[in-house]
Amino acid sequence: MTVFWLRFIIAVLLLAVVAVAAVPLLVLLDLASGGTGYGLCGSGLVGCENGYAAGPELAVGLALLLFGLIATLRLVMRIVRRMERRREIAEATRRLTAQR
């Protein structure tokens, strides 16, 4: 896999992290404007009959997803750095051998 595709994967992972982090804000904005919270409360905030565990379940799920995405992002970034370092070393040795 080339560095270009790994950087593309990094961009996709960053967008996914931003999207996951924005979900609670979007749900709250929808609820505040009289919406259903994107299906969280079927009849709006007044008639919301979700139990006390629905919010924490959503928060834990989003947090686990966020941490998983960040861990994957760190792993891919480490791979990119390692590939770039190897390429730099190869270029440096090529220049040294060309000077002799």
- The reply to whether 21 falls in a domain is yes
Q: What is the pTM assigned to this prediction?
A: 0.72
- Taking alpha carbons only, the member of 50, 2, 1, 4 closest to residue 27 is 50
- The reply to whether 47 falls in a domain is no
Between 50 and 21, name the one with better pLDDT. Answer: 21
Structural domain including 31 reads 3-40+54-99
- The reply to whether 69 falls in a domain is yes
- Taking alpha carbons only, the member of 49, 51, 60, 52 closest to residue 24 is 60
Give CA angle at 30 (33, 27), nearest 5°. Answer: 150
* Residue 92: C-alpha distances to residues 2, 26, 82, 83, 97 (Å): 20, 50, 15, 14, 9
Interval 43-68: pLDDT, tens: 776 777 766 677 788 788 889 999 99
- The reply to whether 49 falls in a domain is no
Max intra-chain CA distance, the chain: 80
Task: Give the chain's domain count.
Answer: 1
Report percent pLDDT > 70 for the chain: 93
Whole-number CA gyration radius for the chain: 23
